[in-house]
């Protein structure tokens, strides 16, 4: 019966795309990096699919509320998820009682990827990684840094850095990168690890990037590897559907995603918004997500960060 229903849904979706309105859930507040990406690709993706796409921001709990909604949705191609990596690769290992696992979602395509960037206000005396380490050793556990949420990439990347450098910092989580930047500008916190485009947007100073290569937006900021720390934490964003979404539907969504990300207007707007496009098809993206989940699971286990029961 379940296979019959899935086959019917696939046939309906493929034969009558104009009748199906797609709901694209973004599990983060409006105005953040994922939301911007969603609104940049939405009109072209809708045109490629021949249907209307409605974006819904369902923020909260480091992306898990909106993601859970997609996990529970019918696998008919009409409810999709656009999210950055924390909700998929980190939260299922971080939470004591995770509401889902990454395997409960079907990968559609990777949309964008950029290295996380460690930044500070320009007024601060923290200008280099050595400055951060030196001050942290004098004031262990006292230097406050912001993140977009407990168990998010900003938290995990700084945890990896703290462990490798042998220092202790004070983590202060916020609801997203927007709130984190406001807190840093007000002097509540002194550091933030997030999207590199925030540096120019808010007049911040980039200390280092958690990438294999330097970031185009902050070319003067060295990579952590250049500074002697083998830490690579990419900020990636992708599209997912419920786990049992039929393969013909996934293939059609993936094809539309590939065409969308090659469309000149999308390429231009994503470049202007400092969200580098990186496309992987639904199969390659699935392998990539599985590897990312293992990487963060190991870091969480080794750091003792798993949420208490």
* Spatial distance between the Cα atoms of 217 and 228, rounded to a whole number of angstroms: 22
Q: Which residues contact 177 (CB under 8 A, 6 or more apart)?
A: 32, 33, 148, 154, 192, 194, 195, 198
Domain with CATH 3.40.190.10 in the chain: 115-210
Q: What is the pLDDT of residue 210?
A: 96
* Spatial distance between the Cα atoms of 152 and 193, rounded to a whole number of angstroms: 10
Instruction: Count the neighbouring beta carbons within 10 Å of the beta carbon of residue 10.
Output: 21
* Spatial distance between the Cα atoms of 307 and 282, rounded to a whole number of angstroms: 31
Q: What is the pLDDT of residue 60?
A: 86
Sign of CA dihedral 165, 203, 211, 295: positive
Q: What is the pLDDT of residue 205?
A: 95
Q: What is the pLDDT of residue 106?
A: 98
3-state secondary structure of 275: coil
* Spatial distance between the Cα atoms of 219 and 206, rounded to a whole number of angstroms: 9
Instruction: Quote the tokens at residue 171.
Output: 């983590």
Q: Which residues contact 5 (CB under 8 A, 6 or more apart)?
A: none
* Spatial distance between the Cα atoms of 291 and 95, rounded to a whole number of angstroms: 19
3-state secondary structure of 80: strand
* Spatial distance between the Cα atoms of 157 and 296, rounded to a whole number of angstroms: 10
Q: What is the pLDDT of residue 32?
A: 82
Q: What is the pLDDT of residue 16?
A: 47
Domain with CATH 3.40.190.150 in the chain: 2-113+236-303
The half-sphere exposure of 20 on its side-chain side, counting CA atoms within 13 A, is 23
Q: What is the pLDDT of residue 150?
A: 80
Q: Which residues contact 39 (CB under 8 A, 6 or more apart)?
A: 55
In this structure, whether the domain defined by 115-210 belongs to CATH 3.40.50.1220 is answered with no
Burial class (CB in 10 A: 0-12, 13-18, 19+), 111: buried
Q: Which residues contact 129 (CB under 8 A, 6 or more apart)?
A: 118, 207, 208, 224, 227
* Spatial distance between the Cα atoms of 106 and 103, rounded to a whole number of angstroms: 7
Q: What is the pLDDT of residue 17?
A: 45
Q: What is the DSSP string of 276-298?
A: -EEEE-HHHHHHHHHHHHHHHHH
Cβ atoms of 287 and 295 within 8 Å: the answer is no
Whole-model pTM?
A: 0.84
Q: Print pLDDT tens along the chain (309 aa).
A: 444 445 445 554 554 444 569 999 999 989 888 999 999 999 999 999 999 999 999 998 889 999 999 999 999 999 999 999 989 999 999 999 999 999 999 999 999 999 899 999 988 899 999 999 999 999 999 999 999 878 888 999 999 999 999 999 999 998 777 788 889 888 899 999 988 888 988 999 999 999 989 998 899 999 999 999 999 999 999 999 999 999 999 999 999 999 999 999 999 999 998 899 999 999 999 999 999 999 999 999 988 888 865
Q: What is the pLDDT of residue 13?
A: 53
CATH of domain 2-113+236-303: 3.40.190.150
* The residue to which tokens 């923290």 are assigned: 126
Phi, psi of 185 (to 5 degrees): -65, -30
Cβ atoms of 145 and 158 within 8 Å: the answer is yes
> Long-range contacts of range 298-307, CB-CB < 8 Å, 24 or more positions apart?
299/156, 299/159, 299/160, 300/90, 300/93, 300/94, 300/156, 301/93, 302/163, 303/159, 303/160, 303/163, 305/94, 305/151, 305/156, 305/159, 306/93, 306/94, 306/95, 306/96, 307/94, 307/95, 307/96, 307/151
């Amino acid at each position: 019966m379940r296979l019959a229903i899935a086959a019917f849904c696939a046939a309906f979706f493929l034969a009558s795309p104009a009748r199906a309105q797609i709901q694209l859930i973004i599990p983060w507040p409006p105005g953040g990096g994922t939301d911007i990406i969603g609104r940049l690709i939405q009109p072209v993706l809708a045109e490629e699919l021949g249907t209307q796409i409605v974006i819904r921001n369902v923020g909260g709990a480091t992306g898990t509320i909106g993601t859970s909604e997609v996990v529970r949705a019918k696998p008919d191609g009409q409810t999709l998820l656009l999210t950055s990596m924390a909700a998929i690769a980190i939260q299922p290992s971080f939470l004591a009682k995770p509401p889902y696992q990454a395997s409960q979602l079907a990968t559609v395509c990777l949309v964008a990827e950029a290295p996380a960037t460690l930044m500070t206000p320009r007024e601060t005396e923290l200008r280099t990684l050595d400055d951060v380490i030196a001050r942290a050793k004098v004031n262990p556990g006292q230097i406050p840094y912001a993140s977009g949420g407990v168990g998010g990439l900003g938290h995990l990347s700084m945890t990896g850095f703290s462990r490798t450098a042998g220092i202790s910092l004070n983590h202060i989580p916020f609801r997203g990168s927007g709130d984190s930047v406001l807190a840093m500008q007000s002097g509540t916190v002194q550091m933030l690890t997030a999207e590199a485009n925030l540096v120019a947007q808010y007049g911040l100073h980039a200390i280092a990037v958690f990438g294999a290569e330097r970031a185009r937006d902050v070319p003067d900021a060295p990579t952590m590897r250049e500074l002697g720390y083998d830490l690579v934490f990419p900020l990636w964003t992708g599209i997912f559907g419920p786990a049992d979404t039929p393969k013909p539907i996934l293939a059609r969504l993936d094809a539309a995603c590939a065409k969308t990300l090659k469309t000149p207007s999308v390429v231009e707007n994503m470049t202007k918004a400092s969200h580098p496009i990186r496309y992987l098809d639904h199969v390659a993206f699935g392998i990539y997500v599985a590897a990312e989940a293992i990487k963060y699971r190991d870091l969480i286990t080794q750091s003792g960060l798993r949420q208490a029961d």
